[in-house]
Amino acid sequence: MVRPRSKIASLAGVLCAMAFTAAPEPVVLAGPTAVAGGPLPVVPAVRSFTPRTGAAWKPGTSTRVVATRGGTLEDEARLLAGELHVPYADGPARAGDVSLSLDRVNANPEAYELTAGSGGITVRGRTDAGVFYGTRTLLQVLRADGRFPAGAVRDEPDRAQRGLTVDIARKNFSRGWIEDRIRELGDLKLNQLHLHFSDDQGFRIESSSHPEIVSAQHLSKADLRAITALAERRHVTVVPEIDTPGHLGSVFAAHPELQLRDASGAPAHGAIDISDPRAARITDDLLREFAPLFPGPYWHLGGDEYHAAIVPAPEAAYPRLAALARRRYGPGATVADAETGWLNDRAALLRSYGKIPKFWNDGFHGSALARPDTADEIEYWSGKRLRGRRPEEYLKEGRRLVNLNDEYLYYILGGPKSFPYPTGQRIYEKWTPAVVYGTAAVAAGLSGPDRILGARFAIWCDDAAAQTEAQIAAGIRMPLRALSQKLWDPGRPALSWRKFTALAGRVG
């Protein structure tokens, strides 16, 4: 493909081992420890920590993790109890316990408060997600220092969407690898995993409606249920993508009649013929089959690099699509309008399943004849080279973006010469959510959390054999940690990159 995107002594020993085995970098103490009064050792850094007089808390032989049995927080309590190797209990809390509860902290649904002292730990949040993030803070501090200093944490993310994209279409990733990434995302307070599971080279999810298009190596529906169940427990939303109407080459081996052809009869790489009603039927069959399998609120429809919309003189090259556009939208309509109409139809179907559609920015065309719904979200990726419109144009229309700027956030297998593997340091020091296209930030009035909703780091498998799963996991480790920090708090980082790297080693 051509595109360049193209979560006691024996306990202390366990926690220490967790931190050191998870860190490929040398572990170096980064400045003062939390117990000595310095910043809490947490990635991402907490927004506010107020030290208090008194002894630090550390787990003891009688420590329990307490939450109401059968309540919303039982999963969070049982997970933390297992990580700390202490019992889970139904309460009430006793001295030395970790107590989890729901309470309105502020308007941010992912906010939490943590209070620590020698008598115990309390974590409360408006939602179970907020409480979960509080337990991640507690766990990281214990990994780094073995105890939690007396004081109060007030913490919340700046951006609502924070995550990772994985191209599982062109490279088959194992279920175990995907599940490990979900655990990693949850521990870093990242909350999205976008799975790009269809492309020209493969279709990687079991299908009962169209088994003929499925690649030999794929995720079964049982795998999907396990992945989405783990993701829900770690407060990670799985965002599925069937990329359409481009990048559907995996369909054509079984259905060659659906491949788009130009006026001379030449096939268009990866492009489905949206003027053929059979193309809509097979696409909608797949959407209806898979939409109920993903409990999250989002569905990605792709829309990028549709060959017919990006060639010179598309109306002459693809007269059937031009005729389709004119029939639907009038004499001035273009092939781009025909593609927009196709995507709007698929988006309407997904909205009937309660999904919020997402599209790549170059599938959002500027015509007034066929316009996507204003609730649809734009995933802006073309940061190195302009494709479609600049982000400011969408933002001024009142649309909302998610930032996947390929200048900083694209990890392309096999692309180091033209697309060097991104470094965590560059993300940490140079990038913010407002840097959507190129290296300059959009205007402050357009870059707030209600306009630029967040960002994801993206793995694209242009050369699937270029790296193993283990190499990819190691390569994205520090970029994910840098992204986590900049989405939780986009301001100037308090630590140097060297100290941040050392901190990442300490907390595991």
Q: Is residue 103 over pLDDT 90?
A: yes
Judged against a pLDDT cut of 80, whether residue 2 lies above it is answered with no
Q: At what angle do helices 128-145 and 74-84 cross, to 10 degrees?
A: 10
Q: Does domain 9-155 have CATH number 3.30.379.10?
A: yes
What would the pLDDT profile of 139-165 be if each residue is shown by its tens digit?
999 999 999 999 999 999 999 999 999
Per-residue pLDDT at 31 = 30
Q: What is the pLDDT of residue 38?
A: 56
Of 243, 222, 245, 223, residue with least CA distance to 299? 243
**Mean pLDDT, rounded, for 475-502:** 96
Cβ burial 65-79 (10 Å sphere, 16+ → b, else e): bbbeeebebbbbbbb
Kindly report, residue by residue over 4-16, the tens digit of the pLDDT. Answer: 444 333 333 333 3
Decide: residue 383, CB within 10 A, 0-12 exposed, 13-18 middle, 19+ buried.
buried
Q: For 204-219, what is each residue's pLDDT tens digit?
A: 999 999 999 999 999 9
3-state secondary structure of 347: helix
Q: Which residue type occupies 48?
A: S
| Strand ranges inside 413-475, DSSP E | 452-460
Per-residue pLDDT tens for 442-462?
999 999 999 999 999 999 999
What spatial distance separates the first Cα and last Cα of the chain, rounded to whole Å?
Answer: 36
Q: What is the DSSP letter of 26?
A: P
Same fold, 9-155 and 161-488: no
Which residue blocks in 188-330 are alpha helix, DSSP H? 221-233, 277-290, 307-310, 314-317, 319-329
Give the pair of three-digit tokens for residue 374: 């204003």
- Is the model's pLDDT at 1 over the cut of 60? no
pLDDT band, residue 26 (cuts 50/70/90): very low
- Over residues 423-438, the pLDDT tens digits come to 999 999 999 999 999 9
> What is the Cα–Cα distance from 427 to 286, expressed in whole angstroms?
36
CB atoms near residue 224 (< 10 Å): 21
pLDDT tens-place string over residues 278-298: 999 999 999 999 999 999 999
Question: Please, is 426 exposed, middle or buried when counting C-beta atoms within 10 Å of its C-beta (0-12, 13-18, 19+)?
Answer: middle
Cα separation, 314 vs 322, whole angstroms:
8
Mapping DSSP to helix (H, G, I), strand (E, B) and coil, where does residue 90 land? coil
Name the residues annotated as catalytic: 305
Q: What is the pLDDT of residue 176?
A: 98
Q: Which fold has domain 161-488?
A: TIM Barrel (3.20.20)
**Choice among 125-129, 172-176, 363-367, 423-427 with the minimum mean pLDDT:** 363-367
CA torsion angle 330 331 333 339 (round to 10): 70
What pLDDT is recorded for position 368?
Answer: 84
Alpha-helical segments (H) within 164-276: 175-187, 221-233
More confident residue, 23 or 90: 90
Q: Where are the domains of the chain?
A: 9-155, 161-488
Q: What are the backbone dihedrals phi and psi of residue 125, each rounded to the nearest 5 degrees, phi first?
A: -150, 165
Task: Kindly tell me if the per-residue pLDDT of 414 is higher than 60.
Answer: yes
Quick one: which H or E segment has residue 120?
strand 120-125
User: Quick one: pLDDT at residue 418?
Assistant: 87
Q: Residue written as tokens 């307490």?
A: 66
